[in-house]
Amino acid sequence: MKVFIERKKQTINMQFTGTVNDLLKKINQNPEAVLVAVNNELVANDCKLKNSDSVKILAVVSGG
Amino acid sequence: MRCARCIKNAVYSDPALCKKHFVVSIEETVENTIKKYELIKKRDHIVVAVSGGKDSITLLYILNKLKQKLSFTLTALAIDEGIVGYRDKTLVTVTNFCKQYDIALQIVSYKDSFGKSLDQFLTTTHKNTKPCTLCGAFRRTLLNKYARIYSASKLATGHNLDDESQAILMNLLRGTPQASARLGPQTGVIEDNMFIPRIKPLYFIPEKQIAAYSFMVGFNIEYGECPYAVQAYRGIVGELLNGYEQKHRGAKKNMINLFLKNKKRLMKLSMEQEEKVNYCSRCKEPSATAVCKTCLLLENKQNL
Ligand code: SF4
Ligand SMILES: [Zn+2]
Ligand SMILES: [Zn+2]
């Protein structure tokens, strides 16, 4: 699975199946502070992810 | 997870709603806040402070949608601090956005008002001043002044539930809870012709929901970050609250509600300490002190 973390401008490739919540726990992101998009659509926290998904973790806080 | 209002899949968890119903629910919340707290009356002229970030764009977009239904008029007001590589870009965003939705836009700059851009202040006369101290004071002055010049009956800002709960907690931690008397969905406790009352229609909407709304409506905005923004105390408090929220759903909202219940008492407390509005002896703008903070900063007499 390709996971892009917006805040760090970093893409990680990982093997993963599970829900959005599981993923956020695994990569240490607070669900309150991020939005998760799969193939460019937002998804709910219990959404099941497939290894072939392209996932974006978008930061909620903006500065300035 | 199903949408709570239809059979579609939810794209958001709390509340569980599909895209269409999520967008509707945000707009309903804003409208309800406006009605419940009487933020906007018929024939009001609302000046909206807009920075080009997701909060102010969302606010402007929703108010523009509501203006006919609630019969008020709208002007967007953007402040050009003069921050190269940042504000120049967000001003393009704001300008295009206002063109697209046919919203009147006024841009006011530090350079025209105070003689120098923020960048220039910070590299010449104000090398030792914290950027946000200078910038924040200037912005507050100009927003009020130009809201008045453009005949605003209210000045609307994009503060959200996270901003407000952070501010309340910060005031508590600093030992100045009475400072929170100035918070709330509408401020400008003091009645004064020179002082334009402020309203915060996004008051009950968490920052995350505004980000989701922006994404779903597709504002298509690059949200850059100000180069002077520091991971300030506010950021730390924000993380703390989000950490707490994760374990105790509704913590931020509970804080806001507790505060709203006690606001009257806080106002009493703060009024006992504060004098009423004076006018700055230099610029004649409303000010709690004999010379306002902006003028003190301009004269380099206040290096906080
Ligand atoms: S982060 Fe500070 S310097 Fe930058 S725009 Fe905001 S107040 Fe001004
Ligand atoms: Zn629905
Ligand atoms: Zn002054």
User: Which residues on adjacent β-strands are paired with residue B160?
Assistant: none
Query: How many Å is the Cα radius of gyration of chain A?
Result: 11
* Chain-chain contact of A41 with B9 (C-beta, under 8 angstroms): no
CATH topology of domain A2-59: Ubiquitin-like (UB roll) (3.10.20)
Alpha helices in chain A (DSSP H): 20-26
The predicted-structure confidence for B109-156, as pLDDT tens digits, reads as follows 999 999 999 999 999 999 999 999 999 999 999 999 999 999 999 999
**Ligand 1 atom closest to residue B230's alpha carbon, by position in its atom list:** 1
Q: What is the mean pLDDT of residues B295-302?
A: 84
The string of pLDDT tens digits covering residues B159-216 is 999 999 999 999 988 888 888 888 899 986 567 788 999 999 999 999 999 999 999 9
| Phi/psi at B217 (5° precision) | -70, -25
B134 CB near ligand 1 (under 6 Å): no
**Which 8-state DSSP code applies to residue B34?**
H
Question: Rounded distance, CA B193 to CA B185, Å?
Answer: 20
Closest A-chain CA to B15: A44
**Residue B236 pLDDT exceeds 80:** yes
Determine the Cα–Cα distance for residues B1 and B9; give it in Å rounded to an integer: 6
The alpha-carbon gap from B43 to the nearest alpha carbon of chain A, in Å, equals 32
How is chain B split into domains, by residue range? 22-277
Residue A33 in contact with partner chain B when CB distance is under 8 A = yes
d(CA B52, CA B77): 11
ipTM above 0.90, yes or no: yes
Task: Tell me what the pLDDT averaged over chain B comes to.
Answer: 91
Helix, strand, coil in percent for chain B, rounding step 5: 50, 10, 40
State the virtual CA torsion across B114, B120, B121, B126 in degrees, nearest 10: -160
CA distance readout (Å), B55 to A53, B61, B210, B232: 30, 10, 7, 19
pLDDT over 70 at B304, yes or no: no
Find the ligand nearest to B225 CA. 1
pLDDT band at B276 (very low <50, low <70, confident <90, very high): low
- Whose tokens are 């924000």? That residue is B238
Question: In the predicted model, is pLDDT for residue B272 greater than 70?
Answer: no
Could you tell me the CATH superfamily of domain B22-277? HUPs (3.40.50.620)
SS3 B2: strand
